[in-house]
Amino acid sequence: MILSSILRKDRMITFSKTVFSVFLALLFGSLFLIFLEASPLEVYGVMFERAATSFDLVLRRAMVLMMSGLAVAIPMKAGMFNMGGEGQIVAGALTAAVVGGLDLPIPAGFHTVFALASAAIIGMLLSGFSGVLSIKRNVNEVISTIMMNSIIAYIATYLVMNPFRGSEFSPQTAKIKDGASIPSFFGLDFSWALVFAIFLCISTYVFLERTPKGLELKAAGLNPVFSRYQGIKVGSMGLLGMLLGGAAAALGGAFEVLGGSHSYTDEYFLQYGFDGIAIAFMAGNNPLGIIVSSIFMAAVRVGSLAVSRRTGVSTYFVSILQGLIIVLLVVPYFSDSILAVIKKIFCRKKEVDHV
């Protein structure tokens, strides 16, 4: 009971800091907009108005971002940092497009499952390779996964421009077969894959918080030395985290191809992998929090499309906002110091009122 209450309190503190960091990012963003002689109220109003009127598009983007966030959060729980989400998403999307475009003598539902499974396996192989290098050869997984992003991106460009090109006018694959597609969610702009993505976030939370293997994975990340004394195979847990993260990222790309675009287009998934880093930090690596932070980030991304057209502010402003959020979350002493100053001011005001 005591441990449970401590964990609950810790989650509340993390959530409060995240909300405060987002608020500070919006505040600093307002100062930047004033410097550009733009109205913060107008820019934010346009941004969130567009997101509200195109909420089905927000959810479609959030679906991929949820999986991208899991690709960072799960390995981090195991003490690993997967920076390869960008490449893993691309690899999963391209694999799903190729497998989904095959003429296979299997029922429609099985074709979809086969395409998703193929994408997940590719993602696991890519992330697992970096995990093995880190565990067996002490190669920093941050460096290896970043380098893998570039390698995968160039390979994907070659494949979609040459052997798998399905259009004369654009660098994209052929359309997937109808039997491999994921149906639209009641005719909206997103598919039933969103439901599956949310289910995976919830399942991941249950796995990490309620199962022995999940608790071992978290213990290995929190305290490797103590975990070894307890008989936990720290290296195996780190590799498991990387494998699950790679599978999540690849499934994110596959979900969009099978349930949205129905083909793979070169450079379509730019920034999705790196957005996952911001989302994971915003959620405190909590899989349930990733659902909320993904929707928020997707809303900002979709809203930014209208900002440049209606206010003249560049869409790069959204990247500035995202960068501010990450900095404020990664450097907790900054937001803690501001909170301490605010608390001090309010305490002093109460003392004066009391006198």
Q: Is residue 86 part of a domain?
A: yes
**130/31 same-domain check:** no
Q: Are the CB atoms for 221 and 143 separated by under 8 Å?
A: no
Locate 281 and state its tokens. 């930090």
Q: Answer with the residue of higher pLDDT: 323 or 206.
A: 206
**223/105 same-domain check:** yes
Rounded to an integer, the average pLDDT of 190-204 is: 95
Q: Are the CB atoms for 138 and 146 separated by under 8 Å?
A: no
- Cα gap 276→127, rounded to integer Å: 15
Per the structure, the complete domain to which residue 191 belongs is given by 60-303
Convert the pLDDT of each residue in 100-130 to its tens digit: 999 988 888 899 999 999 999 999 999 999 9
User: Is residue 32 predicted with pLDDT exceeding 70?
Assistant: yes
pLDDT at 354: 57
pLDDT at 6: 45
pLDDT at 65: 96
DSSP designation for 263: S
Q: How far is CA 269 from the centre of its chain?
A: 12
Q: CATH number for the domain including 94?
A: 1.10.3470
Query: At which residue do the structure tokens 């509340």 appear?
Result: 12
Convert the pLDDT of each residue in 286-345 to its tens digit: 999 999 999 988 998 888 878 878 887 877 777 787 777 777 766 655 556 666 666 666
Locate 329 and state its tokens. 């979350």
Final residue in a domain of this structure, among 282, 303, 324? 303
Query: At which residue do the structure tokens 């390979």 appear?
Result: 155
pLDDT at 2: 47
Q: Is residue 328 part of a domain?
A: yes
pLDDT at 130: 96
User: Is residue 4 predicted with pLDDT exceeding 60?
Assistant: no
CA atoms within 13 A on the CB side of 55: 3
Q: Is residue 52 part of a domain?
A: no
Beta-bridge partner residues of 172: 265
**299/317 same-domain check:** no
**72/196 same-domain check:** yes
DSSP letters, 69-101, are: HHHHHHHHHTT-----HHHHHHHHHHHHHHHHT
pLDDT at 313: 81
Convert the pLDDT of each residue in 62-102 to its tens digit: 999 999 999 999 999 999 999 999 999 999 999 999 999 99
**Which contiguous run of DSSP H or E holds residue 206?**
helix 193-210
Q: Answer with the residue of higher pLDDT: 151 or 283.
A: 151
pLDDT at 26: 83
Convert the pLDDT of each residue in 226-282 to its tens digit: 999 989 999 999 999 999 999 999 999 999 999 999 999 998 998 899 889 889 988
Beta-bridge partner residues of 184: 191
Q: Residues 6 or more apart from 320 whose CB is under 8 A from it?
A: 29, 32
**128/222 same-domain check:** yes
Q: Is residue 53 part of a domain?
A: no
**318/290 same-domain check:** no
**217/340 same-domain check:** no
Q: Per the structure, how many domains does the chain have?
A: 2
pLDDT at 8: 58
Q: Is residue 48 part of a domain?
A: no
Beta-bridge partner residues of 191: 184
pLDDT at 310: 83
CA atoms within 13 A on the CB side of 30: 11
**134/280 same-domain check:** yes
Q: Is residue 54 part of a domain?
A: no
**321/286 same-domain check:** no
- Type of residue found at 59: L
Convert the pLDDT of each residue in 153-175 to its tens digit: 999 999 999 999 988 888 999 99
**142/13 same-domain check:** no
Q: Is residue 141 part of a domain?
A: yes
User: Is residue 185 predicted with pLDDT exceeding 60?
Assistant: yes
- Cα gap 56→62, rounded to integer Å: 10
User: Is residue 346 predicted with pLDDT exceeding 70?
Assistant: no
pLDDT at 9: 55
- Type of residue found at 65: L
- Cα gap 46→33, rounded to integer Å: 14
**213/243 same-domain check:** yes
- Cα gap 157→137, rounded to integer Å: 30
**253/326 same-domain check:** no
pLDDT at 3: 41
Q: Is residue 43 part of a domain?
A: no
